[in-house]
Structure 1
Amino acid sequence: MSDSPRIALIATLDTKGDETAYVRDRIVALGGEAIVIDSGILGEAAGCEAGVSRAEVARAGGRELDEVRSAGSRGAAVEQMQEGVRAVLEALWAERRVDGALCLGGAEGALLGAAAMAALPVGVPKLIVSPSASGRRPFGPFVGEGDTLVMHSVIDILGINPISRAIFDNAAAAVVGMARDAGRPAEALGERCVAITMLGHTTPAVMHMLPALEAGGHQPVVFHANGVGGPAMERLIEAEAISGVIDFTLSELANAMHPTGIHATGPRRLTVAGEHGLPQVVVPGCVDFFNQGAREELPENLRSRKQYFHNPVATLVRLTAEEEAELGRIVAERLAGARGPVQVICPTGGFSLADVPGGDLWDPEADAAFIDSLRDSLPSHIAFEEVDAHVDDPEFADLVAERYLTIAKEASHV
């Protein structure tokens, strides 16, 4: 990385000009360079000169600034400006003119910066400083599927005083230090990098298979299948940073079966690897439950279902046989269009640590409904294998690793 890291500094200069100028100067004092991007919409820029004006930002998103201002609502204007900020930062990165990004923003400003940072690869330093980074607010809109850091500004971003100065100094030092001493884009993790999905209830099996994969010359990268991990994996697939997938844990699809599933993902989950022709081994780990919050907060209509007390703020709720059958059809449908080799392996002895005889989520009829539906719905060109084992049995993990090594080798010779 350059000894003089170049930082994209994103802020609304109509309301945060002086503060942006202070942070810009701190970046320069630390040996970096700052490219100020004005993401403001209303008012006039003041207190800091922009390297990329708000008019240029709007134009990068395909609109003139007056069009954005007349969008009809504040929210609509922010959505339109997000496209421009993202396009600007994407272009700067493509031209290798930035090494990291820092945003000073309130509620809307932080979202504008977050949209831009989503265009940068994992590993490139990204930091948002905002008063909205606090309390019970969800951090998903700031972080998305990437590695954006979020720092609470403690006070509003208005004025230079002992508190804001300390926060701004830390933020500038953090982003410059990361860009100069550590930041590396994870755009190419290696030609033999295999992505694996995992939750706590499939951890024993995934841990067991890692040495076999490594001995076979592959680099495992494990994603937590918590509603963000799966999409993050698929984003890296689209960036061509992944060469194959062991989708061992499909809990995100199970969560999508229920309106309140905390780990739910959208309709593209389990389709991206197939679209890119990657070799895949698919295991229905954790398809037996969906995630909810604290047990005492469970909706009334779920309280009669089998449950597993995961921790004080997380309860696992069993899917019914009818839901399992539908889920099996969904998994088959999403795999049907795969352009690369796919091997589906179903353990018949349970899908999670709690899905065992005597376990809180044990329901062999529901498990069978999933397996039967999946088998009957898969197209004939997709290999399907039932194994008399539990998902976390060491022998099952060995089999999954062996199957992946086989199809990966075959795929490399095509």
Structure 2
Amino acid sequence: MRVLLTSWGSRGDIEPLAGLAVALQDLGAEAVVCAPPEDDFTALLDRAGVPMVPFGPTVRSIVAKDRPPTMQDAFRLAADLVAARFATLPEAAEGCDALLATGLMPAGARDVADELGIPYMLATFHTFGLPSRHFPPGKRPGKPSSAEETDLKVLWEEDAQRVNALYGEPLNTHRAALGLPPVDDVRGHVHGDRALLAADPLLCPWKDKVDLELIQTGAWILPDTRPLPDDLEAFLDAGEPPVYVGFGSIAAYLSPDVAATAVQAIRAHGRRVLLARGWAGLDAIDDRDDCFVTGEVNQQALFGRVAAALHHGGAGTTTTAARAGVPQVVVPQIADQPFCAARVADLGIGAAHDGPVPTLESLSAALGTALAPETAARAETVAGRIRADGATVAAKFLLDMAGREKPPA
């Protein structure tokens, strides 16, 4: 059995696929990942022993700029990614028995699977973007909804129209070249009748009843056994546990003084600082020895040795910190991150910063909550409730699906 897994997105979209691929291999199947040609992703998948097929532009070329992507950037990227899927996925899926797609709206993946006659499945790492009867859609490039509109059904219909505007023309152009009829609801077409929710039920509960059947597996975690670098080990051993600060691939959305604000707020609490550079290139603000700057490291090994983790609220980082039992301060920027921040606060395992731009005062207050003894105790309790078998659950489901379903070509 062989499965193609594909995504275009940040590390938080690619690492779970590596975890799922390893779980598939453990069950005796083959897995290949089709992902952006990012050096970080190539190294990640190579470490996991998973073959990779590159497609599309690098993510860093789109998001790691001094400004967020414009609407024109979004429409250009949508067309480019649809074209890249139709160009790359057919060959990558050769000999495969199923295709799973995730990341930024993977328009084109289902169409390739249907053309090849293999089962298709969408996966998501959060509920952001899934039609709901309880919350409105998030922001998406295109014509915005009226500020006065409150009817959720109307708002989600308008969201579907924005998806059509982004992806409809390029998708249907490529479908026509294959002799396939046009799609009039791209969002519904990509979602299908059912999808996998690769998120922990405690961190991301889903009780919504919509047309889409959502199968929640738990988060897809890639085991990481790498040791920490010697100089980082020395810093950790030299004093009390520091506060970790990292914003992953979030770069264009961050305020330029976020590192200085974080360092000052942490020092105000008498704590040492561990800065992760990330794609924003965070760096020390002086030469004091209470601050250490690191590159990409094993967060699974690191988070158990810090006093708190200050981050952007990506689903992967939130899950890793929760599993480690470390209190969190979440400064959300985009997409599902405000939801993750609110969930951390609701569970009592950290603080949700109000808004994306922290000040010294606001961040100091959030750290006060995270560093309180009761928060640490609660974080330790919750850690034991986070599932670790999500990738295996999903792998078994996919293999069962591939064995049962053979859609017509």
- TM superposition score normalised by structure 2: 0.34
More strand by share: 1
Q: With CA pairs under 8 Å and 6+ residues apart, which has the higher RCO, 1 or 2?
A: 2
Q: Structure 1-normalised TM-score?
A: 0.34
